[in-house]
Structure 1
């Protein structure tokens, strides 16, 4: 009797570990569901929207300008941020905040991206903390799942800050 109970328990534990590993690998390498919070990406993404963040683009280095990504915060590694990619390595970014009188130009260093929220007036982004290392990117948002009336792919930047230059088209 005891051996049968131990055998069934060990079988259950074995299946639990196997399925746990499969789920972990799926979330780590394929994608995950994310509940967004905060005003920085409004009106594109608002608090309590649920999105799907795929991980393949990150692993294949296929992040492009205009993509909305999930990344680890440069300030707090326990927090994720959701921002739009404005510039890639080597790009010249023209930045200014409401308090700046003059616009400044920043070159995005190798292995980094420039991130900004769509809600420029209420976003802490690369304008505050500078270029973000590519290694902090966790995934690219490809689909909005909730609310149902907004289901589908995400729209272009409402600020229209992403300008494709001739050098961008030469990279492809």
Structure 2
């Protein structure tokens, strides 16, 4: 009977250790820093078409410390199961002048970014679905700010604007 008690005690101890580790990973990944793979044409030439692995910090946006020029990870307003990476162009109260579709028209439109929203755009205006298509984005959809490029090795380092 003592052998079973000893085995159960060890199993419980190991299970607690694994649970603590998983809790630490969850907190780190969701509230501090996480890696993300970003690919596609919308952020060319800033990001590679074939993909970049970047680190995203999840602290700045919680303290309203992101602004124009920052590249952010945002939950897509069109499909909440997807994340998009775009540059912040305007904050609440800003007046934004933009071309709705530069391949079709050169008529500029103007919009005022409402309270609690941001205006995001991809760096490649010809291949980006962004605020020009779906309007201002609620600030609450911002998931984090990109700050460090891990891959490709040739671009390893701090992710600047």
The answer, yes or no, to whether TM exceeds 0.5 is yes
Is 65-74 or 47-56 further displaced after alignment?
Answer: 47-56
Aligned-CA RMSD value? 1.2
Tell me what 1:83 maps to. 86
Tell me what 1:130 maps to. 135
For structure 2, the 5+ residue unaligned runs are: none
Deviation at 1:59, TM superposition (A): 1.0
Counterparts of 1:128 and 1:69 in 2: how far apart (Å)?
18
Paired positions, count:
156
Higher strand share: 2
Secondary structure (helix, strand or coil) at the match of 1:122 reads coil
Tell me what 2:148 maps to. 143
Tell me what 2:7 maps to. 5
Deviation at 1:121, TM superposition (A): 0.5
Determine which of 69, 73, 80 is the counterpart of 1:70. Answer: 73
Deviations 1:90-132 (A, max 9, x none): 0011111222342110000111100000111100000111111
1:44–1:154 Cα contact (<8 Å) kept: no
Determine which of 7, 19, 24 is the counterpart of 2:21. Answer: 19
Counterparts of 1:151 and 1:32 in 2: how far apart (Å)?
16
Deviation at 1:153, TM superposition (A): 2.6
What is the TM-score with the length of structure 2 in the denominator?
0.92
The answer as to 2:116 corresponding to 1:114 is: no
Counterparts of 2:123 and 2:16 in 1: how far apart (Å)?
46
Secondary structure (helix, strand or coil) at the match of 2:73 reads strand
Counterparts of 1:101 and 1:64 in 2: how far apart (Å)?
27
Query: What aligned pairs does 1:39-50 form with structure 2 within 5 A after superposition?
Result: 39-46=41-48, 47-50=50-53
Deviation at 1:155, TM superposition (A): 4.3
What is the TM-score with the length of structure 1 in the denominator?
0.86
Tell me what 2:40 maps to. 38
Counterparts of 1:45 and 1:101 in 2: how far apart (Å)?
26
Secondary structure (helix, strand or coil) at the match of 1:94 reads strand
1:44–1:155 Cα contact (<8 Å) kept: no
Deviation at 1:21, TM superposition (A): 1.0
